[in-house]
Amino acid sequence: MTSQAISPSDEGGLETISAVLPEGSTIHAWIKASHGAAGRLTAHVDGDPAGAVETSNPHEFEFRLLTLEKGGEAAFSYDPVTTEISVLYAFLPPRVLEEGIRLLYVRPSNATPEVPGGYHFRPPFGWMNDPNGFGRFGGKLHLFYQHYPHSLRWNNMHWGHAVSDDYLRWTHLPIFLPPSDELAARADGRGGAFSGSAIALDDTGIRIFFTEHMKDREPEEQVQFTATSRDLVNVEPASLILPARPEGLGLTTDFRDPYVFSGPDGKWKMLLGTRDREGGVILLYETDDPIAATGWTFLGILHRENRFGMTAAECPCMVPLDGPAADPATRWALIFGLLTSRDPATGRRNMTLATVGRFDGQKFSVEFEQELDFGTDAYAFQAFVDDTGPVGIAWLANWTDISREIDMPTAMTLPRRLALQSGALITPPVAAAESLRRHRLDVGGLLEGQAVSLANGSVEILLTLKEAGNAFRLEFEHSEATVAVQLDDDGLSIPFSVANAKTSPRYIAAGARPSTIRIFLDAGSIEVFADDGRWTGTKRLPGFKGVSSVRLTAPEGNMLAAEIWQLGL
Tell me which of 200-204, 336-340, 460-464, 489-493 is least confident: 200-204
Nearest to 151 by CA among 412, 397, 524, 407: 407
What does the pLDDT look like over 364-404, one tens digit per residue? Answer: 999 999 999 999 999 999 999 999 999 999 999 999 988 88
Rounded distance, CA 29 to CA 4, Å? 14
Rounded distance, CA 498 to CA 504, Å? 8
For 563, counting Cβ atoms within 10 Å of its Cβ (0-12 exposed, 13-18 middle, 19+ buried), the class is middle
Q: Please answer whether residues 339 and 323 qualify as being in contact, where contact means their C-beta atoms are separated by less than 8 angstroms.
A: no
- In the chain, DSSP finds a helix count (H) and a strand count (E) of 2, 44
What pLDDT sits at residue 471? 98
What ranges in 423-569 are assigned the alpha helix state H?
Answer: none
Q: Please answer whether residues 350 and 338 qualify as being in contact, where contact means their C-beta atoms are separated by less than 8 angstroms.
A: yes
What pLDDT sits at residue 537? 98
* Buried/exposed 82-102: b ≥16 CB within 10 Å, e otherwise: bbbbbbbbbbbeeebbeebbb
Q: Considering only residues 543 and 317, tell me which one the structure prediction assigns the higher pLDDT.
A: 317
What does the pLDDT look like over 414-427, one tens digit per residue? Answer: 999 999 999 999 99
Q: Which amino acid is residue 213, in one-letter code?
A: H
Q: Is the pLDDT of residue 7 over 60?
A: no
Whole-number average pLDDT of the chain = 95
Give Cα 191 distance to the centre of its chain.
18
What pLDDT sits at residue 530? 98
Q: How many residues comprise the chain?
A: 569
With cut-offs at 50, 70 and 90, classify the pLDDT of residue 309: confident
- Cα distance between the two ends of the chain: 15
Angle at 47 between CA 44 and CA 50, to 5 degrees: 25
- The DSSP 8-state label assigned to residue 511 in this structure reads T
Nearest to 55 by CA among 67, 41, 38: 38
Q: Is the pLDDT of residue 1 over 50?
A: no
What does the pLDDT look like over 491-546, one tens digit per residue? Answer: 999 999 998 877 889 999 999 999 999 999 999 999 999 999 999 999 999 988 89
CB proximity list for 413: less than 8 A, separation 6 or greater:
120, 378, 393, 394, 395, 396, 525, 527, 538
What does the pLDDT look like over 97-131, one tens digit per residue? Answer: 999 999 999 999 999 988 888 999 999 999 999 99
Q: Which residue segments constitute the domains of the chain, with CATH numbers given?
A: 7-91 (2.60.120.260), 127-426 (2.115.10.20), 436-567 (2.60.120.560)
Instruction: Tell me the HSE value of 214 on the side-chain side, using a 13 A CA sphere.
Output: 15
Section 187-202 average pLDDT:
94
Q: pTM (2 decimals)?
A: 0.95
* Buried/exposed 142-181: b ≥16 CB within 10 Å, e otherwise: bbbbbbbbbbbbbbbbbbbbbbbeebbebbbbbbbbbbee
Q: What is the DSSP string of 109-165?
A: GGBPPP-TT--S---SBSEEEEEEEEEEETTEEEEEEEEETT-SS--SBEEEEEEES
What pLDDT sits at residue 12? 63
Q: Please answer whether residues 447 and 550 qualify as being in contact, where contact means their C-beta atoms are separated by less than 8 angstroms.
A: no
* Element (DSSP H or E) covering residue 509: strand 508-510
Give the strands of the sheet with 256-262, arranged side by side.
256-262, 268-275, 280-287, 297-305
What pLDDT sits at residue 35? 87
Q: Is the pLDDT of residue 3 over 80?
A: no
Section 42-50 average pLDDT:
96
Rounded distance, CA 296 to CA 292, Å? 8
What pLDDT sits at residue 4? 54
Q: Which amino acid is residue 359, in one-letter code?
A: F
Rounded distance, CA 141 to CA 297, Å? 30
CB proximity list for 82: less than 8 A, separation 6 or greater:
33, 34, 35, 37, 38, 39, 40
Nearest to 160 by CA among 209, 205, 125: 125
